[in-house]
Amino acid sequence: MDLKNKKILIIIGGGISAYKTLDFIRLIKKSGAKIKTILTKGGKNFVTPLSIASLTDNKPFEDIFDVNNESKIDHISLSRWADIIFVIPTTANFMAKLAQGKADDLASTVILASNKDIVLVPAMNVRMWLHKATQKNVKSLLDFGYQFIGPVNGEMACGEYGEGKMSSPRQIFSFLKKYFKDKNFFKVNKLNALVTSGPTREYIDPVRYISNKSSGKQGYEIALALSKLGVKTTLISGPSNINFSKDLKIKSVVSSEEMYKNVKDSLPVDIAVCAAAVVDFKPNKKKKNKLKKNDINSLSLNLEKNLDILEFLGKNNKNRPRIVVGFAAETENVIENSKKKLKDKYCDLIVANDVSKKNSGFCVDYNKVAIISKNGKIENIPRNKKSFIANIIAKKIVHKLLVDEKNIN
């Protein structure tokens, strides 16, 4: 992947691995990328401004208020200039600062002011990395949308061995090339996606209806994650209390039939993710007026099946999306039932989640899922924020599209 004219901002942290940043700079300089650096106070103990300037042809930024550059506010101009921001190495202290949202120096202020992807490259003693406080901060930063490279297992400068060693400059460079390759793929191919979310409602009378506990949060987060990757995304949502992002095209529906019609009208698309909890049955006849409790002693409903939106997308030979992703909300035999649904609905991927658990699934911000592929491979994702899980699902879709594209070519 050619990195010519890509703008890379590197924050050099205060760890002994800081010297490796110079090797990373050499690699990206050869690829034609433009480089700017921020040298932290701690980082200055391990690398000199002169060594950085000689490699980048630019003097590193150090102070939040630069008397020699009063025409611009550095923390704003730098955050807007960059295409991507790396923190190499990322210390436990700096992660704690970012997790708390502190902005007490140029590096942390740039990150807080940035609307670009932030990549952290941790390096620390194994005990520091495994400490509960550090792991809590990692979870917070992942929820913020920050990305991590490493750490890896290996011998550290302190003489101990374990997880905490910084990833090599070549590993970081490989990540960078793949990052822009994925971005370029969506830019060139101009991909479109539709995502369904939330519950549907099937009215018995003007007041009462059949529905479920779905909040629509997981589907919304997936739509947002795809949109951030450059995919033009339409979200078809059942009734929800979510304040939707303006970056998404929103189609609001109530009934399963309305959702089916909007899905059909949105075709063709490249990607379809059916995260909505569509009501499977509806009354075969809706009452015109509200049923009065005092007029009846018991009530029997005659129900009929709704159209199956996921199966329609999976089997649609004419306008079938390149990737169809389904969701299986199960309460027992989760994996077995999800595998069956994957096959029966002609999906490429299915996301299985156990909705019987109180701390994940419906009506909460957390989820615990398993992504199942047609080849039988299962990727278990431990309980985490739905936004975090959405990013994994979106990247999984990206990877599959890239693999399929490679096989076609």
What residues are annotated to the active site? Answer: 158
Burial of 176 (0-12, 13-18, 19+ CB in 10 A): buried
C-alpha angle 163/169/173, rounded to 5°?
115
Report d(CA 139, CA 382) in Å as an integer.
12
Going through 132-266 in order, the beta strands assigned E by DSSP cover 147-148, 152-155, 161-165, 192-197, 202-203, 209-210, 232-237, 249-252
**Residue 186 in contact with residue 229, Cβ under 8 Å?**
yes
Report d(CA 12, CA 15) in Å as an integer.
9
Structure tokens at 222: 């997936």
Residue 59 CA to its chain's centroid (Å): 34
Calculate the alpha carbon distances from 92 to 24, 97, 100, 211, 324 in Å. 21, 9, 13, 46, 40
Residue bearing tokens 């490429």: 348
Report d(CA 279, CA 262) in Å as an integer.
16
**Residue 352 in contact with residue 338, Cβ under 8 Å?**
yes
**DSSP structure string for 230-258:** T-EEEEEE-S------TTSEEEE--SHHH
Return the axis-axis angle of helices 386-408 and 217-228, rounded to nearest 10°: 50
Q: Tell me the helix, strand and coil percentages in the chain, rounded to 5.
A: 40, 25, 40
Across the beta sheet with 271-274, the strand order is 249-252, 232-237, 192-197, 271-274, 323-330, 349-354, 366-373, 378-385
